[in-house]
Structure 1
Amino acid sequence: MLLFCPACGNVLVAEEGPRCHRFACTTCPYVRNVTRKVSSRKYTTASKPPLNGEPCPKCEHPRAYFMQIQTRSADEPMTTFYKCCNAQCGHRWRD
């Protein structure tokens, strides 16, 4: 969790003070003492992956989900992974 200084807008750093833990700004004298446990969670919702017209080599279904990941060095092309849209098949392959 990031906290920002209300005076100058910089990120506050956590440090241990003389009597308690606190968040302090490195550019101005702002200090915020920690009086309770500080935590937060944020859950993201998964969106549907993109579709393409690549036919499944196993069941010949005309559509598949795909994602691209850089699996090798940066000067190599990305690897494309596919998953068949047919619920009974679900075959996975890569290009």
Structure 2
Amino acid sequence: MLMFCPTCANVLVVEEGPKSYRFSCNTCPFIHNVTRKISSKKYPKLKELDDVLGGAAAWENVDSTAETCPKCGHDRAYFMQIQTRSADEPMTTFYRCCHPQCGHRWKD
């Protein structure tokens, strides 16, 4: 936790005084004795994650191909290709199993 000097607005440093710890300013004579425990927690607000593949709507109008699902062994899978790296790298192919009870997703 940072504390600032009310006189010159510099950061206060912690030092050991004669009886207890204290905050002191390095540029002016300001001193604040610590008489109780000082703590403060502030958690940052996390931003919402975007679904890179476009969510469930992205899989609505995709084609299927003869690809075996590694989870259930079904012989058909939906697929889509997305450029996930730089332009000189090949596209990444994403698959989703066509079997209604499986729906396993993987990439190639």
Normalised TM-score (structure 1): 0.55
Query: 1:60 is matched with which residue: 79, 86, 91?
Result: 79
Q: Which of 1 and 2 has higher RCO (CA within 8 Å, sep 6+)?
A: 1
Written as runs of structure 1 = structure 2, the 5 A alignment for 1:1-95 is 1-50=1-50, 52=52, 60=79, 89=105
Give the letter for the 1:25 counterpart: C
1:80 counterpart residue number: none
Question: Where does structure 1 differ by over 2 angstroms across 4 or more consecutive aligned residues?
Answer: 49-55, 58-63, 88-91
CA distance in structure 2 between the aligned counterparts of 1:45 and 1:59, rounded to whole angstroms: 36
Aligned residues: 70
Q: Residue 79 of structure 2 aligns to a residue in which SS?
A: coil
**Percent of aligned positions that are identical:** 42
SS at match of 1:22: strand
SS in 2 for 1:60: strand
Counterpart CA distance in 2 for 1:17 and 1:23 is 9
What is the Cα deviation at residue 46 of structure 1?
1.4
* Deviation sequence 1:32-60 (CA, Å, 0-9, x none): 000100100011221123455699xx963
Distance in 1 of aligned mates of 2:30 and 2:14: 12
CA distance in 1 between counterparts of 2:33 and 2:106 reads 53
Structure number with greater Rg is 2
Spell out, residue by residue over 1:47-91, the C-alpha distance to the aligned partner (whole angstroms, 9 max, x if none): 123455699xx963678xx8xxxxxxxxxxxxxxxxx8x9x6386
Q: TM-score, normalised by structure 2?
A: 0.49
